[in-house]
Amino acid sequence: MNILTILLLFTTLLLTRASELKTAVRIIAIQSLMLALACTAVGMETGEVQIYVAAILTVIIKAGFLPYVLMNIVNTLQHEREDHPILDISYSSLLACIAIVLSYGLIDQALPGAGSRDALATAVAMTLIGLLLIITRRQAVMQIMGMITMENGIYLVGLSVTKGFPIIIELGVFFDVLVAVMVLGILTSRLKLAGLSTDTSILKKLKG
């Protein structure tokens, strides 16, 4: 379990360093895979069926389908890279580390002795880093990455503190994530079709 959490953190940190979109997508895939593994691990602990189901769903949707879709989108947009993020790559990974520390602090402060400390801290850290990515990245795809990371983080929270939602809610959440990413993907490609760059920081027509 701990190894998994560490790996998760590692992938997340890696994500902050990725400037090539394809790499980012691959990292996300791996991250989701890790999540699925963590899920199964929890499943072994508790031995509830629904968690296995959740794990499978994770593998299929988050590690398989979504990366595939995103990959296709990325392929359609050539020479779109995260060259000059709003916050420089090294700084953002630095911030990510700070976030990790913070989250450990927060966990100890807010809910001491809750479930597995590391997993929870990792989860919160992932959430924060996801937000960080959304805030500091220009590329639409990168922001999607950030969102998925966040989603994963929260999912991990659920996993680590409550051993997963009841299955029906679980399904709903998965469905939402799926649709959300799909919608975002479609919007991204539409942006491309509308002859715009997928650099979201230039979307400043609507203000005031």
Partner 1 sequence: MIAGDLYYLMLFLFSTGMVSVFFTRSNANLTNCIAHSIALMGSIVAILCAIAIFVQGKVDVVLLVMLPFGPIGSSIDNLSAYFLLILGVVGVATSIYAYGYSREYYTCRLPLMAGLYNAFLLSMVLVFTVGHVVAFIIAWEVMSVVSFFLVNHEYEKKGNTRSAYIYIVMTHLGTVFIITAFLLLAVGAGSMDFSQLKGSLVSENLRNVIFVCVLIGFGTKAGMVPVHIWLPRAHPAAPSHVSALMSGVMLKTAIYGMCRFFLEFLGAGPVWWGTLILVIGIITAVIGVLYAFIEHDIKRLLAYSSVENIGIILLGIGAGMVFMSKQQPIWAGVAFSAALYHVFNHALFKSLSFMGAGAVLQATHTKDIEKLGGLIKKMPYTAVFCLVSSLAIAALPPLNGFISEWLTFQVLLFLPHALAGITGKVFSAVLIALLGLVGALAAACFVTAFGITFLAKPRSKHAKEAIEAAPTMLVAMGMLAVLCIVLGLWPRGMLAILSQTLKSYPGIDIQGLVMHDWYVLSSPPGPSDGGISTVAIILLLLSGCALAMLLHSIFGKGKVEAGETWTCGIVPNYHMEYTATGFSKSIRMVFKSIVHSHDETLVNASDNQYHGRKLFYQVRIRYLFDSTLYRPINNAIIRTAHFMKSIQTGSVQLYVGYIMAVTVVILIWSTGW
Partner 2 sequence: MLFALFMPIATGLASMFQTTTVAIKIVNITGSMLISSALTTIVYKITVDGAFSYQMLYVDGLSAVLLSILAVLTFTSMLFSLSYMEKDLAHGHITFTMLRRYYGLFNVLIFTMISVLIVGNLGLMWVAVEATTLASAFLVAFYFNHSALEAAWKYIMVCTVGICLALLGTTLLYYAQVSVIGSDFQALNFLELKKISRSLDPTIVKLAFVFILVGYGTKVGLAPMHTWLPDAHSQAPAPISALLSGVVLSCAAYAMLRNLIIVQAVVNPEFLQYLLIGFGVFSIAIAIPFILVQHDLKRLLAYSSVEHMGIIILGFGIGTPLSIYGALLHMMNHAIVKSTLFYMAGVITQEYQTKNIARIRGLVSTMPLVGTMFIIAILAITGTPPFGIFISKFIIIGATFASGRVLLGAGLLLLLGAIFAGMMYYCLAMAFGPKPKYRASSVSVAKPALMAMVISVGLIIVTGLYVPTWLNNMLSMAATIVMGG
Q: For partner 1, give the closer residue by CB, 45 or 88.
A: 88
Cα distance between residue 103 and residue 122, in whole Å: 8
Binding site residues, partner 2, CB under 8 A = 110-111, 114, 127, 131, 134, 140, 143, 147, 150-151, 154, 157-158, 161-163, 165-166, 168-169, 172-173, 175-176, 179-180, 183-184, 187, 190-191, 194, 196, 200, 203, 205-206, 208
Q: For partner 2, give the closer residue by CB, 79 or 207.
A: 207
Q: Identify the burial level of 26 via C-beta atoms within 10 angstroms of its C-beta, where 0-12 means exposed, 13-18 middle and 19 or more buried.
A: middle
Q: For partner 2, give the closer residue by CB, 64 or 158.
A: 158
DSSP three-state, residue 155: helix
Q: Does 183 bind partner 1 (CB under 8 A)?
A: no
Q: For residues 143-162, which are near partner 1 according to CB under 8 A?
A: 143
Q: Does 191 bind partner 1 (CB under 8 A)?
A: no
Amino acid at 65: F
Q: For residues 1-40, which are near partner 1 according to CB under 8 A?
A: none
Q: How far is the CB of 91 from partner 1 (least distance, A)?
A: 15
Q: For partner 2, give the closer residue by CB, 71 or 131.
A: 131
SS3 content of the chain, % helix, strand, coil (to 5): 80, 0, 20
Q: How far apart are the first and last CA of the chain?
A: 49
Tell me how crowded residue 25 is: count the other CB atoms within 10 A of its CB: 25
Q: Does 168 bind partner 1 (CB under 8 A)?
A: no
Q: For partner 1, give the closer residue by CB, 58 or 198.
A: 198
Q: Does 194 bind partner 1 (CB under 8 A)?
A: no
Q: For partner 1, give the closer residue by CB, 62 or 138.
A: 138
Cα distance between residue 8 and residue 184, in whole Å: 24
Amino acid at 182: M
Buried b (16+ CB within 10 A) or exposed e, 84-101: ebebeeeebbebbeebbe
Cα distance between residue 57 and residue 64, in whole Å: 10
What single-letter DSSP state applies at residue 199? B
Contact of residue 79 among partner 1, partner 2, none (CB under 5-8 Å per partner type) = none
Q: How far is the CB of 118 from partner 2 (least distance, A)?
A: 17
Contact footprint for partner 1 (CB under 8 A)? 86, 106, 109, 131, 134-138, 143, 200-201, 203-208
